[in-house]
Amino acid sequence: MPKLKTHSGTKDRVSITKTGKVMARKSFGHHFLEKKRAARKRTLAGKKELSPSVVGSIKKKLGV
C-alpha cells in the first residue's frame, strides 16, 4: 500500500491538541464585522472543538 497524502486544506484549517481534540476556527467571524457586537466578535475569535461525528473523517484526511 502506498502512503496517503495529507489533505492540504484540512491541514491549514484544523489543529489537533496533545489530548487528541480536533480544534477549528469558528464560523461567521471573518467579514461584516461592523454590524456585530464586540462581545460576539471576541467569542468568535477563539477556536472550538469539533463534534465527534466529524472528527473521524478529519483525522483520516490528516493521516492520524
Residue range of the domain that includes 13:
8-62
Segment 9-37 mean pLDDT: 95
Instruction: For residue 10, give the H/E element and its range.
Output: helix 8-13
d(CA 25, CA 47): 5
Give a yes or no: residue 54 inside a domain: yes
What's the pLDDT at 4?
Answer: 86
Give a yes or no: residue 2 inside a domain: no
Give a yes or no: residue 3 inside a domain: no
Segment 37-52 mean pLDDT: 95
The CATH number covering residue 27 comes to 4.10.410.60
pLDDT band for position 26 (cuts 50, 70, 90): very high
Q: What domain count does the chain have? A: 1
Give a yes or no: residue 53 inside a domain: yes
Give a yes or no: residue 49 inside a domain: yes
Q: Is 31 helix (H, G, I), strand (E, B) or coil?
A: coil
Give a yes or no: residue 26 inside a domain: yes
